[in-house]
Structure 1
Amino acid sequence: MELNDVWFVLIAFLWVGYFFLEGFDFGVGVLTKLLARDRTERRVLINTIGPVWDGNEVWLVTAAGATFAAFPEWYATLFSGFYLPLLVILLCLIGRGVAFEYRHKRPEDRWQSNWEHVIFWTSLVPSLLWGVIFGNMVRGVKIDAEMEYVGSLGDLLNPYSLLGGLATLTLFTFHGAVFTALKTVGDIRVRARKQALTLGLVAAVLVTGFLVWTQADNGDGTSLVALIVAVAALTGAIVANQMGREGWSFGLSGVAIAAAVAMLFLTLFPNVMPSSLNEEWNLTVANASSTPYTLKIMTWCAGIAAPLVMLYQGWTYWVFRKRIGTKHIADAH
């Protein structure tokens, strides 16, 4: 296997990690309006992800940085062609971080309510847009012979990519609901399980439809296996949730996300961004990659740094593994 193939796999792994981890905290952000009944319950939900949300975003920064270094042509075309949706996601991530830090700085109801609205919308919008972006990346966009995107924003809003956006939104929200059930006690835990059932059924329909469409257009035997794993894991997560096995439900919903993302990358390879204008203009792991020397240096650096970062993040989750509930929330001053 060539180093450019290795780095394609590593970048796919980074996106899997990002969607697994950021997926549930996006979902929790959406649930602050769908599940929480009052400010105290919203504080419980926010506190479940408070110690980890910023660490989860490290996976996005690393995935973008790795793409820039390993596949500069892919990075340039992706970030220029999808400039507006990626800009919206960036602004949402900035606003979301500010909201988490500033919501509790003042006691006024209006101040806290406004920041809670920000948390909701800046969790919902990226959940939708990531599906739209990846849907277009797999479907193919207008790339010319110079490896430049020549389409418009309207070209990105097609039925396939919009279905992908709805699939990621519902899947992340379901993932967040089972995480909430896993991390809370009391009435909010019970209601999270009930809401997870509805969200899981909707997500199962949308995710299955999106992946089957993907398989029909671009799939092969390997991607079909990933599709089956994703659908089976999502079904298992719903069943485990109904049985009250929250750890199993969360783990299986994570497997469903991982398998779905893996399927998208399997249907892409050896392309990284197909051209809908001419197959000869596709960006591939060969024509979009950096030099072998650059990839070699990156491989040594990643081999040293990545395990340390993952160990530290795993330790963080272990430290903050306890369940919380409304009884753990101090009265507002």
Structure 2
Amino acid sequence: MFEFLSVLWFFLIFILIAGYFVLDGFDLGIGVLSPFIAKNGEERAILRRAIGPVWDGNEVWLLTAGGALFAAFPNAYATTFSGFYLAVMLVLFGLIVRAVSFEFGAADPKWRPLWDGCFFVGSLLPAVLLGVAVGNIFAGIPMDAIGDYAGVPLLGLVTPFTLLVGLLGLAMFLAAGASWAALKAPLPSELQARAARLRMPLQVIALVLFVVVSFFALAIIGPEMDGNLAVLRWLFAALVIVALGASIAVGQFQGDDLKAFLAQSAAMIALVALLACSMFPVLVNATPDSVGPAITIWNAASSELSLTCMTIITCIGLPLVLAYHVIIYRTFRGRVKPEDLAH
């Protein structure tokens, strides 16, 4: 039972990460894109309204993933959060600034340029740094005998590979943001047309970066991947490419913004699933010069009692969270209307 629960929670954490990647992905993407696609106050208000009812609920998935990692695999939590301390603080700083600027930007016209700039920076920092962090746990970090990070803080985490992963994550966020903006902006409108035009180039960039990162990843730890999951890895890699291609096709040739957004979201889910299958059963890889071994589900899992209690709580809580999201997205479905901007 202990082994089953350890494997279960490994993949449940990645499911939570996928939920954050998709749901808060378009929020962060819109925050980064807003200075470039919103040309006046009304268009900025439309973008704020497009994510206003859902952005805070979307961030819950990141908090839940962090909490689940702490409870299920405390050793992995300790290594990543202490080793990536400065990067984590920058991410949290970005999320806090983003939340404050989002709320004050609509109510403080005098300082609106400042809040718009903070909204951009607060969205850009998490969008890039989260990908860099993923690149590090995949490629490996130097660890001492007790599993503590033994590298240079922050600067030691930036390598050509981790930077490429960060750019891939940013490109996926931007493509999702453009897709959501095209889906929610009034039709017809210049804002919707700009977002729709920008969607395809961003998806092409994401596709190119995905191919490049995949070749790097195979060169770095390809031989160490679990051979039993090879078929799933190829399947999810193909799904990333197919879903991005489908999003481009339906968005550009059919003009169907909803299908384009759903296909973009499917590509993001497949990308996280590919990461999970590539890393299993490793939570944090170790570099060849590390004194300590890699952190896996076998040497980092908490007790069977803890995992059992977490599973019971998840069976109760996760359906409630999903029901909340269904209700919110159904309530605020459809494009933003002029009368919505008054609220």
Fold match (TM-score > 0.5): yes
Q: Distance in 1 between matches of 2:109 and 2:158?
A: 41
1:231 aligned partner, one-letter code: I
SS in 2 for 1:124: helix
User: Do structure 1's residue 272 and structure 2's residue 273 form an aligned pair?
Assistant: no
* Structure 1 residues 285 and 40: CA distance shift in structure 2, 3 A: same
Q: Secondary structure at the match of 2:162?
A: helix
> Are positions 1:148 and 2:148 aligned together?
yes
Which SS does the other structure have where 1:144 is aligned?
coil
Q: Is the 8 A contact 1:211 1:260 kept in 2?
A: no
The C-alpha deviation readout for 1:76-96, integer Å capped at 9, x for no partner, is 001001111111000111111
Residue equivalent to 1:224: 234
Shift of 1:248: 1.1
In structure 1, C-alpha distance between the alignment counterparts of 2:318 and 2:340, rounded to whole Å: 35
Number of equivalences: 329
Q: Give the partner amino acid of 1:178.
A: S
Query: How much has 1:206 moved relative to structure 2?
Result: 1.2
Instruction: For 2:94 and 2:290, locate their aligned partners in 1 and report how far apart those are by CA, in whole Å.
Output: 34
1:191 equivalenced with 2:194 (yes/no):
yes
Paired residue for 1:130? 130
- Deviation of 1:197 (Å): 1.7
RMSD, aligned CA: 1.6
Alignment partner, residue 209 of structure 1: 212
Q: CA deviation at 1:328?
A: 5.1
Find the partner of 1:94 among 84, 96, 103: 96
Q: Say whether 1:52 aligns with 2:54.
A: yes
| 1:215-266 deviations in Å (ceiling 9; x for gaps) | 4433433222211111111111111110211111111111111111111121
Does the CA-based 8 Å contact 1:144-1:275 persist in structure 2? no
Between 210-219 and 73-82, report the one with greater CA deviation: 210-219
Contact preservation (8 Å) 1:171, 1:207:
no
What residue is the counterpart of 1:233 in the other structure? 243
Q: Which moved more, 1:271-280 or 1:120-129?
A: 271-280
Q: Give the corresponding residue for 1:296.
A: 308
Q: Distance in 2 between matches of 1:241 and 1:105?
A: 34
Query: Where does residue 20 of structure 1 map in the other structure?
Result: 22
Give the TM-score taking structure 1 as reference length: 0.95
Maintained 8 Å contact 2:146/2:292: no
Q: Which runs of 5+ in 1 are unaligned?
A: none
Distance, in Å, in 2 between the alignment partners of 1:322 and 1:233 is: 23
* Alignment equivalent of 1:36, drawn from 23, 35, 38: 38
Report the CA distance between 1:104 and its aligned residue: 2.2
The alpha-carbon deviation at position 101 of structure 1 amounts to 1.3
Deviation at 1:155, TM superposition (A): 2.2
Contact 1:229 1:259 in 2 (8 A): yes
Q: For residue 108 of structure 2, give the secondary structure of its aligned residue in structure 1.
A: coil
Displacement of 1:190? 1.4
- CA deviation after TM superposition for structure 1 residue 187, in Å: 2.1
What is the rounded CA distance, in whole Å, between the counterparts of 2:280 and 2:290 in structure 1?
17
Instruction: Show the counterpart of 2:227.
Output: none
- Matching of residue 112 in structure 1 with residue 112 in structure 2: yes
Task: State the 1:278 CA deviation.
Answer: 4.7
User: Secondary structure of 1:200's match?
Assistant: helix
Q: Which amino acid aligns with 2:302?
A: S
SS in 2 for 1:287: helix
Give the counterpart of 1:73 among 72, 75, 82: 75
Shift, 1:325, TM fit: 5.0
Runs of 4 or more consecutive aligned structure 1 residues displaced over 6 Å after TM superposition: none
TM, length-normalised to structure 2: 0.92
Identity of aligned residues (%): 39
Aligned residue in 1 for 2:121 = 121
Letter in 2 for 1:295: L
**209-218 vs 143-152, which deviates more?**
209-218
